[in-house]
A and B are shown apart, each in its own frame.
Chain A
Amino acid sequence: AQKVTQAQTEISVVEKEDVTLDCVYETRDTTYYLFWYKQPPSGELVFLIRRNSFDEQNEISGRYSWNFQKSTSSFNFTITASQVVDSAVYFCALSGSGTSYGKLTFGQGTILTVHP
């Protein structure tokens, strides 16, 4: 079985603050993939990043950065200097191999509101 937990239901920040969205996952697979998606108010999910289980390097893309730690089964997402346009629901997801082959499991999502 695989599971993704996003413990933060809602986060509210003021523009220019940094914000970190937490994601903890469970899987028995040794090979797996982690994802983050953004769902803006328009509703369509947008892919942000993919990480495989063998690559623990942190990644930075502009104001976005991701911290993958296998030791704590976490894949956290940080937005630096947040902007109003970052307001959205953010989902973490896990895709396994083995018994979970092909299955893509999402967390509950974190609603991020950035106030001007």
Chain B
Amino acid sequence: DVKVTQSSRYLVKRTGEKVFLECVQDMDHENMFWYRQDPGLGLRLIYFSYDVKMKEKGDIPEGYSVSREKKERFSLILESASTNQTSMYLCASSLFPGGTEAFFGQGTRLTVV
């Protein structure tokens, strides 16, 4: 079974802190994604990466950055957390860019106070 693991299920951080959300997949997938999920807004794509060291902005990249130094790991970074970044963050991976289905992690519920 494909496994996508996010490092934390729940996080509470203070405004202005630098926050790292880690995601690891164990199936040698090329593509990885970070989404945030908010009620009524669905899943909004923050960043994605279709290869090591490659990254592409999604629809809402402002306030975030990412790092993909190894194929299996994709990190989301909040440089200076703000309260409007309180959300559920979902990591996903897919075998190839394009036509293959994505597998999701369990999500990280981030609260910024």
Contact = CB atoms under 8 A, between A and B. Distances in A.
Given A101-B50, A103-B48, A44 B107 contact: yes
Interface stretch (B36-44, B61-69, B77-85): B36-44
Nearest to A50: B101
B106 interface: yes
Contact of B101 (A35, A91, A109): A35
B102 interface: yes
B101 A103 contact: no
Interface residues of B, number: 28
A103 B48 CA distance: 7
B89 interface: no
A52 interface: yes
Nearest to A101: B97
A105 interface: yes
Contact of A104 (B41, B42, B45): B45
Contacts of A47: 101-103
Given A43-B106, A44-B106, A102-B56, A52 B99 contact: yes
Nearest to B59: A105
A107 interface: yes
Interface residues of A, number: 25
A97 B100 CA distance: 12
A95 B99 contact: yes
B98 to A, nearest CB: 6
Contact of A103 (B56, B90, B103, B107): B56
B106 A105 contact: no
B31 A102 contact: yes
A102 B101 contact: no
A106 interface: yes
Contact of B58 (A9, A93, A95, A103): A103
B74 interface: no
B42 A103 contact: no
A106 B43 contact: yes
Interface string B18-32: 000000000000010
Interface of A: 6, 9, 31, 33, 35, 43-45, 47, 50, 52, 91, 93, 95-97, 101-109
